[in-house]
Amino acid sequence: MDENEVPSNTSRWRIELIDKFGIRRENTDPDKILQKWRICLLNDSEAAAIDAIVDKTYLEEFDFNSLEHIPFHINIPFKIWGIKFEPRTIGMFKTFNENLEEFRFHLYNILRQMYMPKKRENQGPHGIGYQVLFQKLLRCIEFRMQSQLEVPTGQINICGQEVTSKADIVGLKCDDPSKILFICEEKSSQVKRKCCSEGTAYSPVKKKRHPSADVEFAAEVTSSGSESLDMPSNVHAQHIGELLSYLECSVTDEGLLGMVIQKTDVMFTYLKIDPESVEKIKRRKESGPVTFDTTKQEDPVFFYTKQFNLLRREDRRTIFKTLVTIKMMEKKVCCTVL
């Protein structure tokens, strides 16, 4: 690909193109991302309410490094598998218990597929399972979403080139389906396709025997940290392209919130960019990079976090707090009674 070419699909974007667009990247934490994105200000009582909700919802009993560390036996029926917990009464989320049950059921099914005897060698879990698992988690926070075939194609015209992108999940403003709260992109399936194309075969999951496999499992934490999956810089480029493609439908004129899913890891993102900067990128000349007036602070920034594993207790608390805060802000600006 020519270094000045703008591919028509964001799945082919490379980080060199983002550099030519003048979009700076900054690693940060979810709190700072929400401070940049915030569609409204939350008062002290609302902030305290978020902490109280997270304490009730984030499942502190559940703590594992990976799917393979979750005690499981193929003969355990769903009704006796999982965490034993009392129903939670959460005023803000009326259907939390029902949605959490759906999350647990899908997680159970993923594990069941992992430990089922394989008819063929080198057959791994179905890739779409991770995306659906995260979507079930979003349902617990009662976001209104479009997924898979429902999601419209995002579009933007850059230097005469029509660019398209397709998000995996789109979170919609609760009282206006034309406005986007966030977009989610799954990367685990693309990693798999790359591995297969390079001739890397999947090894079947090795069955592990756990003392608690035949009873309700207890939390298990190993001394080693969770496995960290690499997030190549070109993944940033593709995700930035996706954010640009859906930007015109964002709930705010100053950017768009995003998430990248890689297996059970979640990365929060935010592309901060004002309309004038978008126009400069659209009118970019192929011969050189886009330049911005730094004195006016118009240079766009792509904020991104480290990856948080939704299976690990402390990581999941951060994930829940971030999602609940987004929902609290949405609730405050919406007229709809949740």
3-state SS string for the chain: CCCCCCCCEHHHCCHHHHHHHCCEEEECCHHHHHHHHCCCCCCHHHHHHHHHHHHHHCCCCCCCCCHHHCCCCCCCCHHHCCCCCCCCCCCCCCCHHHHHHHHHHHHHHHHHHHHCCCCCCCCCCCCHHHHHHHHHHHHHCCCEEEEHHHCCCEEEEECCEEEEECCCEEEEECCEEEEEEEEEEECHHHHHHHHHHCCCCCCCCCCCCCCCCCCCCCCCCCCCCCCCCCCCHHHHHHHHHHHHHHHHHECECCEEEEEEEECCEEEEEEEECCHHHHHHHHCCCCCCCCCCCHHHCCCCEEEECCCEECCCHHHHHHHHHHHHHHHHHHHHHCCCCC
Please tell me the least confidently modeled range out of 68-77, 175-184, 267-276, 289-298. Answer: 289-298
* pLDDT at 28 > cutoff 50: yes
Question: Domain for residue 4, yes or no?
Answer: no
* pLDDT at 231 > cutoff 70: yes
Q: What are the pLDDT digits (tens) for 158-177?
A: 988 899 999 999 999 999 99
Task: Say if residues 303 and 270 touch (Cβ distance below 8 Å).
Answer: yes
Question: Domain for residue 338, yes or no?
Answer: no
Q: What are the pLDDT digits (tens) for 30-74?
A: 999 999 999 999 999 999 999 999 999 988 889 999 999 999 988
Task: Say if residues 253 and 274 touch (Cβ distance below 8 Å).
Answer: yes
> What sign results for the dihedral spanned by CA atoms 34, 36, 37, 42?
positive
Q: What is the pTM of this model?
A: 0.84
Q: How far apart are CA 338 and CA 321, in angstroms?
A: 18
Q: What are the pLDDT digits (tens) for 85-125?
A: 666 778 889 899 999 999 999 999 999 988 887 665 555 54
CA angle 34, 39, 274 (to 5 degrees): 85
* pLDDT at 223 > cutoff 50: no
Question: Domain for residue 299, yes or no?
Answer: yes
* pLDDT at 226 > cutoff 70: no
Q: How far apart are CA 143 and CA 330, in angstroms?
A: 10
Question: Domain for residue 153, yes or no?
Answer: yes
Q: How far apart are CA 332 and CA 336, in angstroms?
A: 9
- β-partners of residue 191 are none
Distance between alpha carbon 284 and the CA centroid of its chain, in Å? 30
Question: Domain for residue 55, yes or no?
Answer: yes
- β-partners of residue 178 are none
Number of domains in the chain: 1
Question: Domain for residue 3, yes or no?
Answer: no
Query: Taking all residues of the chain, what is their mean pLDDT, rounded to a whole number?
Result: 82
Structural domain harbouring 263: 10-203+213-333
- Once rounded to an integer, what is the mean pLDDT over residues 278-294? 82
- Once rounded to an integer, what is the mean pLDDT over residues 264-280? 95
Residue 172's alpha-carbon distances to 28, 177, 327, in angstroms, are 25, 6, 11
